[in-house]
Amino acid sequence: DAGVIQSPRHEVTEMGQEVTLRCKPISGHDYLFWYRQTMMRGLELLIYFNNNVPIDDSGMPEDRFSAKMPNASFSTLKIQPSEPRDSAVYFCASSFPFQGENTGELFFGEGSRLTVL
Amino acid sequence: QKEVEQNSGPLSVPEGAIASLNCTYSDRGSQSFFWYRQYSGKSPELIMFIYSNGDKEDGRFTAQLNKASQYVSLLIRDSQPSDSATYLCAVKKVSFNKFYFGSGTKLNVKP
């Protein structure tokens, strides 16, 4: 089975530009998470969805960030306008809930490395 | 107070030794505990999962959980240079399916 698929893998943009990151979760997983990782702050949860509905967006840094999940197989994270401090690796992850034989573990995509100049 | 605390390291051990990685968490409502390994430039990958008090072994890896002390550890026996990576501890409250990650411990295994 294909894992979590993210695009683009690398993005270099200039301050003020709009950035859109994309994610396709593992088929059948009903939870989708967006994380941001930096050396200073580690892995930070930005937002997560259950069955396409946003459950907790308390980690979204500010109004410049938005996320959508229009269907079970696609999600986007948008930054508009982008700033240099947004430079980080953005990971998308998906999971089943913890029940039965499922550990509820997170499966991560390969990440999108964003550099804002 | 952070939800999950880890020593950032680096932790250096010689090849063949036991590496011991530790993690504490603040919320007694946490119910599932995970150890992820992350190689430089790569995404985290699960290596151990535990939810009951005690030890859980998988090959060279042993996870230990003590809920009374709010403490999780990972032991790596016969450490290999290929084990050199950052190890992330994660805890989850099942009711919310929300994961909290520690900042990670960087492990260096010297040949």
- Inter-chain residue contact A97 with B94, CB threshold 8 Å: yes
Which of B46, B99, B104 comes nearest A42 by C-beta? B104
* 3-class secondary structure, B68: coil
- Summarised one tens digit per residue, pLDDT across range B48-101 is 999 889 999 999 999 999 999 999 999 999 999 999 999 999 998 766 778 899
Query: Exposed, middle or buried, A111 (CB in 10 Å: 0-12/13-18/19+)?
Result: buried
Which of A48, A103, A110 comes nearest B43 by C-beta? A110
Residues in chain A with CB shorter than 8 Å from the CB of B98 are 45, 48, 56
A26 min Cα distance to partner chain B (Å): 15
Q: How confident is the prediction for chain A on average, in pLDDT? A: 93
Q: What are phi and psi of B47, to 5 degrees?
A: -120, -30
Average pLDDT over residues B32-59: 94
Q: How confident is the prediction for chain B on average, in pLDDT? A: 93
How much is the pLDDT for B65?
Answer: 95
- Summarised one tens digit per residue, pLDDT across range A91-114 is 999 998 766 656 788 999 999 999
How much is the pLDDT for B10?
Answer: 93
A17 min Cα distance to partner chain B (Å): 25
Q: What are phi and psi of B83, to 5 degrees?
A: -80, -10
Helix (H) or strand (E) holding B72, with range, is: strand B71-76
- Summarised one tens digit per residue, pLDDT across range A8-57 is 999 999 999 999 999 999 998 999 999 999 998 899 999 999 999 999 99
Contact indicator for B36, B47 with CB cutoff of 8 Å: yes
